[in-house]
Structure formats: structure tokens, C-alpha cells
Amino acid sequence: MNAISLRNVDIAYGDTRVVEDLSLDVAEGECFGLVGESGSGKSTVLRAVTGLAPDWTGEISLFGQPRGKAIDRKFAALCQMVFQDPYGSLHPRQTVDAALSEPLAIHGLGGADTRVPEMMAACGLDPRFRFRLPHQLSGGQRQRVAIARALMLKPKILLLDEPTSALDVSVQAEILNLLKRLRREQKLTYILVTHDLPVVSFLCDRLAVMRQGRVVEVAPVEALRHNAMTHPYARELVEKSANRVSA
């Protein structure tokens, strides 16, 4: 079954349509990479799937169930998002402890006392950070809090928007390994937005390349590894990334 399915989706902010006629299927347990031009609508697609960009037409369904336009608690437990700007998704007056316990409380679940430290450890966060506020953490530490928070409800689908771009490569490696392990153990489904094509190569099965609100190519990740993408813009991205890495 498809975990995520989008059919002919258009998304707008006011009068500006930013995503046009987008169709995508992501199978259960699959990791799907979404890459492309800055400003092309990648974050907007994730926001529509989570219910945060309500102005869309077309069809969006999760595990075969069509979703409505608003935020829906049933979907929240199923599908969580890690935002591109961790600052924006964490409440400035909420400690790490509160940010991680809150999803459990909202859904009437207990066990915060043990689950919060466990999750912090899994995401490489020092226990000393538990009662700190977001501004008392570095950029990468905040990003790990955002990832930990999204995992608290054990969702089936994780939408990851540049989850490791603020992390040094060694911490990135730990998070990527964690995401890979969770996916294997819990059959999680991911959509991963990133500008880092080697990260897609490590974690994803397929990828879509977006430009100006449209998907220009969908390909298996092997096409990325062997420079076999076909659309000129997709080829440009792959070649420019490859040049940087090899030089």
C-alpha cells in the first residue's frame, strides 16, 4: 500500500500558486528524496501533507485515507514533520523537556519520564540540555531536539525538511544512521527534503527533482549514483554536486 499519495495537487498562498499539478506515490517503508531549486515548493509540499498549507486542490491521502485541509489529530499521530527552521518549530519559552513531553501529553500518553531521556540519547543530545531553552542551544542541537520531538509519538510517516543541514558531518552521520535504523526496525516511511545529494544517495530509494513548482523528474536513486538522470535541470544539479565532491 502507498503510505503517501498525492494526485494532481496544486498549492497556493493567497493569489500565488507555488506548486502545480504534483503527483507522487511513496510506498510504505520507502524513503523518498525531494530535491531541487531553492524556492521551488519542496517545503510547501510537506506542509500540505501535514495540514499546514491549507490552500490546496487535488487529492492527498495517507495509507489510503484522504486527508482534509485542516490539522487533524488522527493524522498527527500517524505523520510528523521536522521543520527546516528548528527555531521556528520550537517554542522559545519551552525547555527541551517540555517540548519532548508535550506531544505525549496532548495524545494522552504517559511515560514521559523515561521516554524523554531515551529519545534525547538516541538523537545524541547530552542529558544536561534537558532543561535548557532553545536559545541556549547551538543550531545543530536545536535541530536534534526537533527530530526527537517528531519521533516521540512513534509516527508511521516522517516528513523531514533539511533535517541535517545544521549538523556537522559526524553528527549528521549519527542522525542518518538513526533514521536508517528506525526505518528498518519500525518500517517508517520518509519524505526527505535536502540539497545534499549524497545524503539522498545514502538514505533514499527514489527521488524527485523540483523546479518552479513542478516535479521535473522522478528516478531511482541509482540514477543519481551513476549520473543517469535525464532532465537537463536534474543533470545540472547532479553534475554540479559531483564536481564539488571530486575536486
Ligand X SMILES: Nc1ncnc2c1ncn2[C@@H]1O[C@H](COP(=O)(O)OP(=O)(O)OP(=O)(O)O)[C@@H](O)[C@H]1O
Q: How far apart are CA 23 and CA 147, in angstroms?
A: 27
Closer to ligand X by Cβ: residue 80 or 84: 84
Residue 43 binding ligand X, by CB under 6 A? yes
Do residues 145 and 132 touch, judged by C-beta distance below 8 A?
Answer: no
Q: Which of 43, 80, 95, 241 binds Mg ion (CB under 5 A)?
A: 43
Provide, rounded to whole angstroms, the least separation between the CB of residue 194 and other proteins. Answer: 10
Residue 139 binding Mg ion, by CB under 5 A? yes
Provide, rounded to whole angstroms, the least separation between the CB of residue 124 and ligand X. Answer: 11
Residue 54 binding ligand X, by CB under 6 A? no
Tell me which DSSP letter residue 68 carries.
-
Closer to ligand X by Cβ: residue 54 or 111: 54
Q: Which 80-99 positions form the footprint of Mg ion (CB under 5 A)?
A: 84
Interface size with ligand X, residues (CB under 6 A): 20
Helix axes 112-122, 96-106, angle to 10 degrees: 120
Closer to other proteins by Cβ: residue 63 or 129: 129
Residue nearest to Mg ion (CB): 43
Closer to Mg ion by Cβ: residue 143 or 241: 143
Provide, rounded to whole angstroms, the least separation between the CB of residue 58 and other proteins. Answer: 21
Specify the residue for cell string 513542478. 214
Do residues 56 and 9 touch, judged by C-beta distance below 8 A?
Answer: yes
H helices present in the chain, as ranges: 42-50, 73-78, 86-89, 96-106, 112-122, 139-151, 169-186, 197-203, 221-225, 232-246
Closer to Mg ion by Cβ: residue 43 or 95: 43
Residues that bind other proteins (CB under 8 A): 13, 16, 35-39, 43-44, 84-85, 87-88, 128, 136-141, 161-162, 165-174, 176-177, 180, 195-199, 201-202, 212, 224-226, 236-238, 240-242, 244-245, 247
Length of the chain: 247
> 66 exposed, middle or buried (CB, 10 Å; 0-12, 13-18, 19+)?
exposed
Q: How far apart are CA 159 and CA 239, in angstroms?
A: 27
Enumerate binding residues for Mg ion (CB under 5 A).
43, 84, 138-139
